[in-house]
Chain A
Amino acid sequence: MEAASDPFWDALEDDRFLLPSCEDCGEAFFPPSRACPHCHATDIEWLESEGVGTLYAFTRQHRTAPGVPSPNVLGIVELEDGPRLLAQFASEYDDLEIGATVTLQTREYAGTVDRGRLEGRPFFEARLRD
């Protein structure tokens, strides 16, 4: 049996950003799921996303869990393809503003969270678009 998210992680290894998308209602969504959260259809295709969106909200956390940078700059990205997702930011907190154009990029992940089957896999982060 395959995990619903396997295509996402496989593509991320190649610096590609795939989003699950419903073949029935056409809505992209995140995180990956075995059914569309909009219409509950189960035929899911994978959309090649540019990984570009706007900064919806952001914060800088000053006390974080072990293995997480402190301070930790985090934001919610609203992708052009529709879904929102949480991402760590490679940009400086003081440079961020709501509505800024941001892009996702692959990065190595040295932490231990959820790294059983995903051992050695990269994660993603966001930065302001140049």
Chain B
Amino acid sequence: MTDARVTGLATLPNGTYDVPERDLAGEVLLEAIDDAGCTLSDVDGLYMPKPRPWTDQGFFTTLLEHQFGLELAESVETYTGGTSGGHAFQHAVGDVRDGSVERAVVLAVERNSTIETDDYLEYILSIFDREFQSPAGPTIPGVYAMSLQRYRYEYDVDREDIASVVVKNRENAAANPDALFDDPVTETDVLESRVVADPLRLYECPAPCDGAAAIVITRGDVADDHDGTGDGVRVGGTGAHHPSSHLLGVRGRSLAAFPAIAGAAERALGDADLGVAELDVLEPYTPFPHTEAMLTEELGLFEHGEGAAACARGQTATDGAIPVSPSGGCIGRGHPPMVTPLLNYAAAVRQIRGESPVVDDVGTVLTTSEHGHIDGVTATVFGGDA
């Protein structure tokens, strides 16, 4: 088995776009190919998170294949909510590693500006258990509000420490030209923003937006043959985990625990032959501040209940012991959920390439994606030795 390297990438700044999704996709496809120093003829795999229902264009990969004259050994669209991009990426890595594909493009595009809030909330009802949960009218912030409540109840976590995660990520986003937000906020701003679902506040919820990203994954021996762009950044390891849960916590476990994170990370780190202590940076998919704090705990970096306080002390800042979300994460960058996993991968690759404006000397990065109420998680490690 050979290894998989990221040899090219492209991201559009998160925001609002008024051209069709196909044009956003075409833009990042061509730019990523150019960044990889290859041509469209070199691409033999295309992997996408399936665009969500308000994207009018169906059969999106087929359309792109036809529009760009691709001839592929494999093309895949996955849909598992927020992990869709993560699973698409890991599928591509698997195909590249086992040799069935030489050069894969993972591409994600999403325009959340095209859906009305009412229609989005009705879509969200469809992902809950339609028979026994949806008639009660839940929302995504509603379930995260309850895990925030349990987290504070069980571990007596300081409310300001939770807000400090938002402050950190908005500050990090201010240095990221692709981020939706470029103005920092204070803890007071966060805790005085309007309540979305008690006790969760507006600045603690990720802002939906439009976005697109493409990543070129090349088989190790093929990447080595290429001159000009170096060998790329190695995909060190992949893992995923899904305990028995559907949006209300894992059966028999606390709502203030996300065991899918620990399970996915253990598998990815095992695949990469790395320990948590060897990670330089985390770029997680954590849309709400308590979930980022809890992720650092699930990884074993801090004791349970200590993650938010560690952030408030600066331990997860860009100059801290373990920088978390130096790109700004979901909260600072804005959040197009189909694209967010790729934005994490792009951030990781740019950090290892030495292109990050805020972190230096990065050799290994752990990224995640999650869906539902962190019911399922993918973890992908970048860097590390073959």
Contacts and interface: CB of A to CB of B under 8 A. Distances in A.
Interface stretch (B95-103, B146-154, B178-186, B326-334): B146-154
A74 B249 contact: no
A65 B248 contact: no
A58 to B, nearest CB: 7
A88 B132 CA distance: 11
Among A29, A30, A72, max chain B CB count under 10 A is at A72
B134 A61 contact: no
Contact of A76 (B125, B146, B153, B198): B146
A76 B248 contact: yes
Contact of A74 (B130, B137, B196): B137
B75 interface: no
Among B130, B135, B145, max chain A CB count under 10 A is at B135
Contacts of B200: 59
B255 A56 contact: yes
B73 interface: no
Contact of B251 (A5, A37, A114): A37
A75 B249 CA distance: 13
A113 B197 contact: no
B55 interface: no
A11 interface: no
Contacts of A87: 136
A63 B129 contact: no
Given A31-B129, A86-B248, A111 B150 contact: no
Contact of B121 (A60, A65, A76): A65
A86 B197 contact: no
A98 B149 contact: yes
Q: Number of contact residues on B: which range applies?
A: 35 or more
A61 B197 contact: yes
B198 A59 contact: yes
B136 A88 contact: yes
A125 B150 CA distance: 21
A59 B146 contact: yes
Contacts of A72: 136-137, 142
A65 B124 contact: yes
Nearest to A5: B131
Given A57-B146, A63-B117, A114 B134 contact: yes
A71 B313 CA distance: 36
Interface residues of A, number: 38
B191 to A, nearest CB: 16
Given A60-B198, A61-B197, A98-B153, A114 B142 contact: no
Contacts of A114: 130-131, 134-135
B225 interface: no
Contacts of A109: 135
A46 interface: no
B67 interface: no
Contact of A57 (B149, B244, B251): B149
B137 A61 contact: yes
Nearest to B200: A59
Nearest to A87: B136
Interface in B104-160: 117-118, 121-122, 124-125, 128-139, 141-142, 145-147, 149-150, 153
25 contacts: A5-B131, A30-B132, A37-B244, A57-B150, A59-B145, A59-B149, A59-B200, A61-B141, A61-B142, A61-B145, A61-B196, A62-B194, A62-B197, A63-B121, A65-B122, A72-B136, A72-B142, A76-B249, A84-B249, A86-B248, A98-B153, A114-B131, A118-B131, A123-B135, A125-B136
Ranked nearest first, the 10 interchain pairs of A and B with the lowest CB-CB distance are A68-B137, A65-B121, A57-B146, A59-B145, A114-B130, A88-B136, A61-B197, A31-B132, A60-B198, A61-B142
